[in-house]
Amino acid sequence: MRLTQEQLDIIKRTTAEVFGDTVRVRVFGSRLEDASRGGDIDLLVEGDGVVVGKVQKMLTLTARLQLRIGDQPIDILVVDPETPLNPVHRHALQTGCAL
């Protein structure tokens, strides 16, 4: 995985700060491939309950992470019981690395 332990800790802590302690977060995509270079940080936030204010929380998480780990592209998906799963969601759930 092409993220440091410090970056992973910041991602996990900041996600809990924004979405609450009950959500889970996974890293998926190119950052899992050690041989790759560059690319954005793809995150999947999973909630067992309905996430209220999804878009605002996604924007808040993106901004805080960019301030804390550096200005780099970050893509965030949020999955809760009301989310209709598309192929990207399924891929992230199947291949993502839980933090």
- For CA atoms 68, 99, 5, 76, give the dihedral sign: negative
26-66 tens-digit pLDDT: 998 876 766 666 678 999 999 999 999 999 999 999 999 99
67-76 tens-digit pLDDT: 999 888 999 9
What is the total count of domains within the chain?
A: 1
Query: 95: which strand partners?
Result: none
CATH of the domain at 93: 3.30.460.10
DSSP notation for the chain: --S-HHHHHHHHHHHHHHH-TT-EEEEESGGG-TT-----EEEEEE-SS--TTHHHHHHHHHHHHHHHH-S--EEEEEE-TTPPP-HHHHHHHHH-EE-
Residue 26 belongs to domain spanning: 5-98
